[in-house]
Amino acid sequence: MSALLQVSELSKSFGGVKAVRSVSFEIAKGELLALIGPNGAGKSTCFNMLNGQLRPDAGSVRLEGRNIVGLAPRQVWRLGVGRTFQITATFASMTVRENVQMALLSHHRHLGRLWVRARDQHRDEADRLLDLVGMLAQAERPCSILAYGDLKRLELAIALANQPRLLLMDEPTAGMGPRERVELMGLTAQLVKAQGIAVLFTEHDMDVVFKHADRLMVLDRGQLIAEGAPAQVRANAQVQAIYLGSRSEH
Ligand code: ADP
Ligand code: MG
């Protein structure tokens, strides 16, 4: 397996709290890898170290062999590490299409391509992305009036506009109903598989995790305690005790 991302002995403390302790893992191209664990396990801290938002105390993060520790989030984004489902990524007063066009402009600009009028730019490409996520019919609507699930699908289109090689999705389905969750991750799985994009995601809904993840990692108090195929991890007694046993909190 040639790894797209290699994480080695990543650690981060906040004061006396060891949020992430010597975490190592790899993600292959096109793989959907779920990172699960109870609240406070260190999942978001891991994500924040992968995309440059937080600097690790120790360890390395290699993207196709290049250590990206110390790069700013923007630089990591430019190397093809996308992050989805941050509500702030959309502009409420603009239409659905304009939001995707903005993302495309930003992407093409960093590739050094010339552009002229923002409103007309990349319209076809924007519509193709909106069609992929099932949002083309809503292209002219302002984002401010979108239903929550539709906003999430738009955010997926925006993330894809950057042609990421790796997508980081921290609780992408938070706030959604069970059916919407399965649908959104199903759509994500289908799209990223078709394009060979690797995905690292966190998710509390075990139905979604077991249905869509190729592989699972379990984090508990900053440490990886299990890793493997979903069925394998589900059968792990330590995981059942620590995590699956505590699912009532969600
Ligand atoms: P998860 O995403 O798995 O719920 P987090 O990574 O958010 O876990 O948090 C892991 C631990 O680190 C928790 O104990 C949390 O309180 C602590 N923590 C996270 N971010 C900060 C921060 N910026 N400052 C201080 N403590 C933090
Ligand atoms: Mg979190």
Residue by residue, pLDDT tens for the chain (250 residues) are 579 999 999 999 999 999 999 999 999 999 999 999 999 999 999 999 999 999 999 999 999 999 999 999 989 988 999 987 555 566 788 999 999 998 888 888 766 655 555 556 789 999 999 999 999 999 999 999 998 889 888 989 999 998 999 999 998 888 888 888 888 899 999 988 999 999 999 998 888 898 999 999 999 999 999 999 998 998 888 888 876 554 444 4
Give the atom of ligand 1 at the shortest distance from the alpha carbon of 47: 6
Q: What separation in Å is there between the alpha carbon of 114 and the centre of ligand 2?
A: 39
Both tokens of residue 180? 């919407």
Mutate-to-test residue for ligand 1 from 39, 44, 201, 217, highest number of ligand atoms within 8 A of CB: 44
For ligand 1, what atom is nearest to the CA of residue 46? 6
Give the environment of ion ligand 2: residues with CB less than 5 A: 43-44
Q: Which one, of 31, 43, 24, lies nearest residue 4 by Cα? A: 31
What pTM did the predictor assign? 0.90
Residues lining ligand 1, Cβ inside 6 A: 14, 17, 19, 37, 39-45
Going by CA atoms, what residue is nearest to atom 20 of ligand 1?
45
Ligand 1 mean position, distance from CA 48 (Å): 10
Name residue 28's beta-bridge partners: 3
- Which of the ligands is closest to the CA of residue 219? 1
pLDDT computed for residue 248 by the predictor: 42
